[in-house]
Amino acid sequence: MTATREKRVSSGASRDWRDRYAMGLAITDLLVLIWVIFGAQIGWFGVTTSDVTFSGSLSEVAFSYTAISVFLVTSWLAILGVFGSRSYRVLGTGPQEYRLVLDASVRLFGLVAIVAFLFKIELARGYILIAFPLGVLTLLLSRWIWRQWLGVKRLRGEYSSRVLVVGSESSTLHLARELARQPMAGYLVVGACIPARADAGYLGGTSIPVFVDLENLGSAMKVTGADTVVISSSEDLSPEAIRKISWGLEPGRQHLVVAPSLTDIGGPRIHTRPVAGLPLIHVETPRYTGSKQFAKRAFDLVAASVLIVLLAPLFGIISLLVKLSSPGPVFFRQLRVGINGSRFHMMKFRSMVTDAETRLASLQSQQRSEGNSVLFKMANDPRVTPIGRLLRRFSLDELPQLFNVLQGTMALVGPRPPLEREVDQYDSHVHRRFLVKPGITGLWQVSGRSDLSWEDTVRLDLYYVENWSITGDIVILWRTFKAVVSKSGAY
């Protein structure tokens, strides 16, 4: 009885976290907006109260800027709530929360500008030009700080939806593993209901309890403390059964999520369209030509050119260190496979001894035990020079690839450029990596670097190929900087 009571309390706590978190965001938003708006007023006008003139058809009216500031704070706070920027569905991962904050802010100030124009209200431009961008940036910063705090909580299993997965054994196990891989998403699997299974027990070598009675799903949710039911694919779940599950959930406190048999699909490619009562999910096929490709190439050219100019002194220092540390050339050129299977010579600062390639065969047998039979990665490769180890530690040996970007054989962000001997071992589906240019960095770089298994490397590269965007590239470049300065991953 005590254990059941504790689980019910846990269920209540898991439901309450959404309200507590949203309230914390609202309070922070209010404090940020007060500081920004009134700070802009004081910064522009000083501590004295200024008036806004009204030159419409009415007699002259004067508004205090303090009243205008109060109105902006109240309206800004309200529109952030109306746009759902504090909804638990957009919190924790993905850019949607930031987009909603930006969209709500732009619309508010657009409306203020329209009203000021129509009624000929003379607002000080400097006041607006300070308040709007500073407010947006500070709101985004505060949301980012909250997200870091939420991430720590979710790694501990707190502030997450407690999920009961319903479906076949294979689909529930796959879904549980994928959700466990991304705890920041905020879905903690606490149970599984598999109607086709003969007995209960646990799910596929995990500690997740299994229930087999679909009719008593409500009891299973109480026992596990679940507040969310996720429906995965199963031949035993008819539309009528799913409808009954949704009817049995407590409105507003328990939630239903349907997980189709799709994986590694980026949010912008997914569009839900209800047709005849059916929630049809439209998945756009990826595009590798047109304006997006032109924008990516333009971004690569500008960014690579700027980086080469800014990093020119560092290029000189590294070249001198490589030349003085060991005999051999400064640069290392290696044949790699690029877009559409084309071959190109990738440039790097030399980080190994000159006979490294001839010594490779004798080391490959040792590398097999490190869990990657396709990529050769050895934590203590004896061929790496002392300076080369330092360069690899901070990925400085990759800098000459900026010239490959200028030549058009590589991009700043993309899949890992493979060797020909690696391509010979590829399964057919892995060749989709060649639909885009290989990159200096990519999802594989910011998600574990050299510590990744071959399966994870392929999964991340194919995810990028299917879902790339300019915004995503910028995020990966920022994450690359954080990965480079971390204490593990590259060797």
Both tokens of 328, joined, read 């051999």
**Would you say residue 237 lies in a domain?**
yes
**Would you say residue 274 lies in a domain?**
no
Average pLDDT over residues 127-147: 92
Both tokens of 143, joined, read 């949301």
pLDDT at 363: 62
CA–CA gap between residue 206 and residue 234 (Å, rounded): 20
Of the three residues 155, 185, 211, the one that is the final residue of a domain is: 155
**DSSP assignments along 372-405, one per residue:** -SSS---TT-TTB-HHHHHHHHTTGGGTTHHHHH
Regarding whether 461 and 330 lie in a shared domain, the answer is: yes
Average pLDDT over residues 25-44: 91
Regarding whether 100 and 173 lie in a shared domain, the answer is: no
Residue 382 carries which side chain, given as an amino acid letter? P
Nearest to 480 by CA among 414, 386, 417, 418: 414
Of the three residues 155, 179, 200, the one that is the final residue of a domain is: 155
Q: Higher-confidence residue: 44 or 26? A: 26
**Would you say residue 29 lies in a domain?**
yes
pLDDT at 10: 44
The total domain count for the chain is 3
Regarding whether 177 and 48 lie in a shared domain, the answer is: no
Q: Please give the share of the chain, as a percent, with pLDDT higher than 90.
A: 29
CA–CA gap between residue 421 and residue 130 (Å, rounded): 57
Q: Higher-confidence residue: 378 or 130? A: 130
Neighbours of 332 (CB within 10 A): 20
Average pLDDT over residues 397-407: 94
**Would you say residue 366 lies in a domain?**
yes
**Would you say residue 267 lies in a domain?**
no
pLDDT at 399: 93
pLDDT at 94: 76
Regarding whether 20 and 104 lie in a shared domain, the answer is: yes
Q: Which of 23-27, 203-207, 266-270 has the lowest mean pLDDT?
A: 266-270
Q: Higher-confidence residue: 487 or 39? A: 39
CATH of the domain at 246: 3.40.50.720
Regarding whether 54 and 108 lie in a shared domain, the answer is: yes
Report whether 413 contacts 440 (CB < 8 A).
yes
pLDDT at 425: 84
Tell me the per-residue pLDDT of 344-375, one tens digit each, with 9 for 90 and over: 999 999 888 776 666 665 565 555 444 455 56
Regarding whether 364 and 466 lie in a shared domain, the answer is: yes
Regarding whether 217 and 136 lie in a shared domain, the answer is: no
Tell me the per-residue pLDDT of 43-102, one tens digit each, with 9 for 90 and over: 877 765 555 555 544 334 445 778 888 899 999 999 999 999 998 888 877 788 998 999
> How would you class 367 by CB atoms within 10 Å of its CB: exposed for 0-12, middle for 13-18, buried for 19 or more?
middle
Regarding whether 168 and 76 lie in a shared domain, the answer is: no
Is pTM beyond 0.85? Reply is no
Tell me the per-residue pLDDT of 231-249, one tens digit each, with 9 for 90 and over: 887 677 788 888 888 888 8
Regarding whether 199 and 235 lie in a shared domain, the answer is: yes
pLDDT at 2: 37
Average pLDDT over residues 363-392: 66
Regarding whether 252 and 133 lie in a shared domain, the answer is: no
Alpha carbon separation from 172 to 110, 165, 203, 234 (Å, rounded)? 47, 6, 8, 9
Tell me the per-residue pLDDT of 326-348, one tens digit each, with 9 for 90 and over: 888 899 898 999 998 999 999 99
- Give the mean pLDDT of the chain: 81
Within 8 A by CB and 6+ apart from 3, the residues are: none
Regarding whether 247 and 324 lie in a shared domain, the answer is: no
Full domain range(s) for residue 31: 2-155
pLDDT at 233: 76
In sign, the C-alpha dihedral spanning 224, 179, 183, 137 is negative
Of the three residues 93, 120, 155, the one that is the final residue of a domain is: 155
Both tokens of 427, joined, read 């399964």
